[in-house]
Structure 1
Amino acid sequence: MRPRRFLPAGPLKGRIRVPGDKSISHRSIMLGALAVGETRVTGLLEGEDVLATAAAMRAMGASVERVGDGEWRVNGVGVGALLQPEGPVDMGNSGTSTRLLMGLVASHPINVSFTGDASLSKRPMGRVIDPLSEMGASFEASEGGRLPLIVRGASPAVPITYRLPVASAQVKSAILLAGLNTPGETTVIEPVPTRDHSERMLKGFGADLTVTVEADGTRVITIKGEAELKPQVIDVPGDPSSAAFFIVAALVTPGSEVVIENVGLNPTRAGLVEVLRQMGGQIEFLNEREVGGEPVADLLVRHSALKGIEVDPAIAPAMIDEFPVLFVAASLAEGVTVTSGLDELRVKESDRLAAMAAALTLAGAQIEEREDGLVITGTGGTPLPGTATDAQVTTHLDHRIAMSMAVAGLVSSGGVEVDDTRPIATSFPNFEDLLASLAG
């Protein structure tokens, strides 16, 4: 355990860059490992989750190396040529890597045993196991479809048409990645749009993939298997989920003005900015551009008087990882913020609804926990009292709980004590240093 009390801060000022986007970082390594030739990646998020992906692809035959000043070079084995790992593949805390790699392995003639840490081993994998089983893969999972589990790939796998029962970019991506080495056409029907990094990047690497949007907004994604992927040069934009903590910190800390450079603004990820603007947040896009098929901009964020709103549940998939820090913003807004349709948050790295309700209540916020969301009555800008000297927020080994409550500490009277800051390294190794640089 590494506890820390995050203390109240004066105005946050300055320019920062947040680490590379986690979703794009994972996929850069995975797709590079399946391309024939050398893929070069700059701006990769070098957190524990992405490093677990790199180690897994090495175990399956790819060369993944960091060279010089932060450039990564991935020499792939080609679609269909993944090798049998010599032992279990440890995914650490990364649910994304695990689910996506289960898809990759499902259509290769190899057997892979996936293990993970205590937190990951509690997370259900059944939603991925079901469609991949339809494609011919078989699974030996722990009770409840959890890790450790063994994937026995099918050769050849069977193409399927699968309608997602629940909005999930990870399930969609696992099926599409399995479809890469499956003869024929594999189709995913997505009633509610989710993050589309997999589709953008698969096309960028040369996969034969089409997306059609029906009149009711349903997306139909079809991939033709056994196409050769071509190596790419990728500059990973800043992760909007990491930028979220600094966006909220600047909005709620009086006198703040912060520029966050090079942030990815993929529309399937930009829900938080939209909701914060609805609450009255001043967030400007500067230097808008496109990098590798992804929209990117610098964000200028100024302290703003936020107002509580009812958050439309339809926007949840575009900001599912940002709700913990939105709850912090809502606790300092004027009036009531209502969130619903967030059942997904109960099966993240922790039960994020219960964990954030308990954490913010401990810090003095007024929270009502419902089955599928939180109702938060804000202070109208008055600082939260903070945690008592003998009390600690329980993070449940969840990096986003730890960072969200660090932001709450900035705008509290007495600070907020977090029980363990170590999990922050999974996605944002220099978070505390960047925070200190702005508060300097």
Structure 2
Amino acid sequence: MSEPAPTPSARTPIAHQASPAAAPLRGAVRVPGDKSISHRAIMMGALAEGTTTIEGLLEGADVMATIRAMRQLGATVTQGDGPGMWRVVGWGRQGPQEPADVLDMGNAGTGARLLAGLLAPWPLTAFLTGDGSLRKRPMKRVTAPLGRMGVGFATRAGDRLPMAIQGTVKGRPITYRLPVASAQVKSALMLAGLNCQGETVVIEPSPTRDHTENMLRHFGVPVSVEDTERGRTIRLTGPATLRAVHINVPGDPSSAAFPLVAALLVPGSDVRIENVGLNPLRTGLLTTLREMGADLQLEDVRDGAGEAMGTLHARHSALKAVDVPAERAPSMIDEYPILAMACAMAAGTSRLRGLEELRVKESDRLAATLALLQGNGVKAWVEGDDLFIEGSGGDPVPGGGVVATHMDHRLAMSAVVMGLASQKGLEVDDLSFVDTSFPGFLQLLGQLQQTPVGGKP
């Protein structure tokens, strides 16, 4: 009898020796589809009436967990004829069915928090869990406002998974001002508001990624956004019906950040990354790298289903230190670890401000990023929620350390990029979680190093 397939929570650690680059990075590549948009495309396709078609979907472990959950809830989700091509037949106004088993979201923090909002306004009971990393992450920022809408939750100590969700058919629309800017919390409340009678209002202290607003409009749901003295105010009125559409998912800018920064750091590199999402609320890293003196151009910019996309063209650059304001954090919250690698080779001391949100990501990313830097010969320190990094002035960083990734895919990929730009290379303890967002990451870096120098980039 064959062994059962491993669950998303049962990965085998994969250690990796991140060696210095053997050659410049050159060529044109594409990165996997945007993870944030992919999660939303599958969920809203499930909520919609009719058949939604998707191209460019990220087929990483996180999105696969969302697909499994939507199937358990009654949607028909099938793969199309090629990579990234999917079809979703939604349950529409009849609502999701009560799942017969636990919904295991693996490492998908976005999927788990959005799912809590999606299930909230329906009369069912569901049990939600995840892998060891996700079970450490607090859920109160979502369960507290959803509780005000009439939803019942039972969690482990510290408001952590596993979690029971007792939905309600009599959901109350609320007006809620986010204490901390969070696209996940905002999106969970908007998904819950779709089946509540009346107007749901979310006020965010600073703008966060607006993929949910854009996609709801694409599915035919009116959403208004207004900047006021209290902050950015988002309104929608329920109950609302979503109508099936076609979705073209752009490449994930958070994934593009890794080959992009690698190209800036490895001498002689010249890289184009095609079909990347350029939503203005996701481009804080591009703004910051330009401030550092990066040779970085945008090409072939166009619109696709409400989301801007285009080509990033990056060449090796002499970088200078930067002082990143805290208000920029929502537009680049996932890119701070890889930005820290760029700062480690810049001229001068950089200051990355207001990073409290990093403490509750897949790991304590602030502490883990600091350890990655210090363990490989980079002088860095934390004061409050600010990270200071003393750069090498363009010289390769020493390297030589062993990096503990804490099951954090972005930290693992940042370490690999540091290895490319180091003197000695370094060892990464676990790359198994990279597939949650970037299947084929190492292969793509290898492809870029094999492009002949002098060939067309």
Q: Same fold (TM over 0.5)?
A: yes
Give the C-alpha shift of residue 80 in structure 1. Answer: 5.0
Corresponding residue for 1:123?
137
Distance 2:265 2:93 in 1: 48
375, 379, 382: which one aligns with 1:366: 379
Listed as ranges, the matches of 1:311-322 within 5 Å are 311-322=324-335
- Give the Cα separation in 2 of the matches to 1:397 and 1:122: 11
Q: Render the CA deviation track for 1:358-396: whole Å, top value 9, x for unaligned.
A: 111111111112331210000011111111xxx521000
CA contact 1:11–1:253 (8 Å) conserved in 2: yes
Distance 1:238 1:274 in 2: 18
Identity level (%): 53
Distance in 1 of aligned mates of 2:230 and 2:379:
37
Aligned counterparts of 2:239 and 2:92: Cα–Cα separation in 1: 10
Query: 2: CA distance between counterparts of 1:179 and 1:79?
Result: 14
What is the root-mean-square deviation in Å for CA atoms of aligned residues? 0.9
* 1:136 aligns to 2:150 (yes or no): yes
User: Partners in 1 of 2:129 and 2:93 — Cα distance?
Assistant: 24
Aligned-pair CA distance for 1:219: 1.3
**In the alignment, is residue 75 of structure 1 matched against residue 85 of structure 2?**
no
**Does the 8 Å CA contact 2:203/2:230 hold for their aligned counterparts?**
no
C-alpha distance in 2, partners of 1:120/1:361?
A: 26
Q: CA deviation at 1:308?
A: 0.3
Whether the 8 Å CA contact 1:262–1:298 is kept in 2: the answer is yes
CA shift, 1:81, in A, is: 1.0
Is 2:73–2:99's contact at 8 Å kept on the other side of the alignment?
A: yes
The answer to whether residue 258 in structure 2 is matched with residue 229 in structure 1 is no
Which amino acid is the alignment partner of residue 398 of structure 1?
A: D
Question: Which of residues 420, 432, 435 is equivalent to 2:445?
Answer: 435
* Other-structure match for 1:194: 208
- The equivalent residue for 1:180 is 194
Query: 1:48-92 CA deviation, whole Å, 9 max, x = no partner?
Result: 000001111111000011121121000000145111000110010
What is the CA distance between 1:209 and its match in structure 2?
A: 1.7
Structure 2 counterpart of 1:260: 273
Alpha-carbon distance in 1 for matches of 2:94, 2:196: 9
1:113 counterpart = 2:127: yes
**Letter of the structure 2 residue corresponding to residue 15 of structure 1:** A
**1:228-247 alignment, distance < 5 Å:** 228-247=241-260
Give yes or no for the alignment of 1:7 onto 2:2: no
Which of 44, 67, 71 is 1:58 aligned to?
A: 71
Task: Give 2:208's aligned amino acid.
Answer: T
1:424 aligns with 2:410: no
Per-residue Cα deviation, 1:202-244 (whole angstroms, up to 9, x for no partner): 1110113211222x48211111112211111111100000000
* Residue 295 (structure 2) aligns with: 282
For 1:332, the equivalent position in structure 2 comes to 345
Partner of 1:271: 284
Question: Counterparts of 1:436 and 1:423 in 2: how far apart (Å)?
Answer: 19
Alpha-carbon distance, 1:303 to partner: 0.6
Structure 1 match to 2:223: 209
**Alpha-carbon displacement from aligned partner over 1:225-268 (angstroms, at most 9, x marks no partner):** 12211111111100000000011101111111000000001011
Q: Which runs of 5+ in 2 are unaligned?
A: 1-12, 451-457
The separation in 2 between residues aligned to 1:209 and 1:352, in whole angstroms, is: 33
SS at match of 1:306: coil
Give SS of 1:139's match.
strand
4+ residue runs of structure 1 moved beyond 2 angstroms? none
Equivalent in the alignment of 2:7: none
Counterpart amino acid of residue 408 in structure 1: M
Q: Distance in 2 between matches of 1:255 and 1:103?
A: 47
Matched with 1:93 is: 107
What residue in structure 2 maps to residue 402 of structure 1?
Answer: 412
Give the letter for the 1:330 counterpart: C
5+ long unaligned stretches in structure 1? none
Using the alignment, how far apart are the partners of 2:230 and 2:342 within structure 1?
31
User: Partner letter of residue 2 of structure 1?
Assistant: I
Distance in 2 (CA, whole Å) between partners of 1:19 and 1:334 is 32
Cα distance in 1 between the residues matched to 2:260 and 2:328: 18
